[in-house]
Chain A
Amino acid sequence: KNQVEQSPQSLIILEGKNCTLQCNYTVSPFSNLRWYKQDTGRGPVSLTIMTFSENTKSNGRYTATLDADTKQSSLHITASQLSDSASYICVVSLPSGNTPLVFGKGTRLSVIA
């Protein structure tokens, strides 16, 4: 079964600190890997998208990395802000294209003052 595992399940950090979220996947082959941010009560919003040939992709304070050999990805958040509190979901797309996407369960990040 294609799976996407994320760790940690939840994380609490102080405002201004950095953090790194992990994603391990068994989906193979795959088309691309995405990270989404989901605020409570809202739909997920895309942060980054990487094809299997890309190693890193940045979006402001968010930097995603991908190691296709070890099937690992990480999302690094720099200088965290209170508004970063959300669930961060790792998503892998199968080679067939848009469908289907395989979602991880997400990491719940809480940034506190």
Chain B
Amino acid sequence: GAGVSQSPRYKVAKRGQDVALRCDPISGHVSLFWYQQALGQGPEFLTYFQNEAQLDKSGLPSDRFFAERPEGSVSTLKIQRTQQEDSAVYLCASSRRTSGTDTQYFGPGTRLTVL
């Protein structure tokens, strides 16, 4: 595709529900990142994939958060038993290679609201 796409764009969940957020990176991009952006804050790193391998998940706030990229393309971020503090925009980004100077291209984000 032309850019990184994410779905759904908006998600409202009741506290305790499980949610799954999808990211379609730019075709052929090796690296994929998930970020969490609270209102009025900058994005904060959650996890990083190189192809299908999850190389860094140090930013995941709890074991309720789980991410996968089984075939090295589409990725899913799953949040179990959602809490109100999980409300945020979840951004996905991809980059062509693994170089430190590679530009990360961001999707539009999924805005999650937990009631």
> Which A residues are within 8 Å of any B CB, using their own CB?
4, 31-32, 41-46, 49, 51, 89, 91, 93, 95-106
Contact = CB atoms under 8 A, between A and B. Distances in A.
Interface of B: 4, 31, 33, 35, 40-45, 48, 55-56, 58-59, 91, 93, 95, 98-109
Contacts, number: 68
Contacts of A45: 106
Contact of A43 (B55, B58, B99, B108): B108
A97 B99 contact: yes
B42 A98 contact: no
Nearest to B44: A103
Given A95-B100, A99-B55, A103-B44, A43 B4 contact: yes
Contacts of B103: 46, 49
Contact of B101 (A44, A51, A89, A96): A51
Given A103-B43, A105-B40, A98 B98 contact: yes
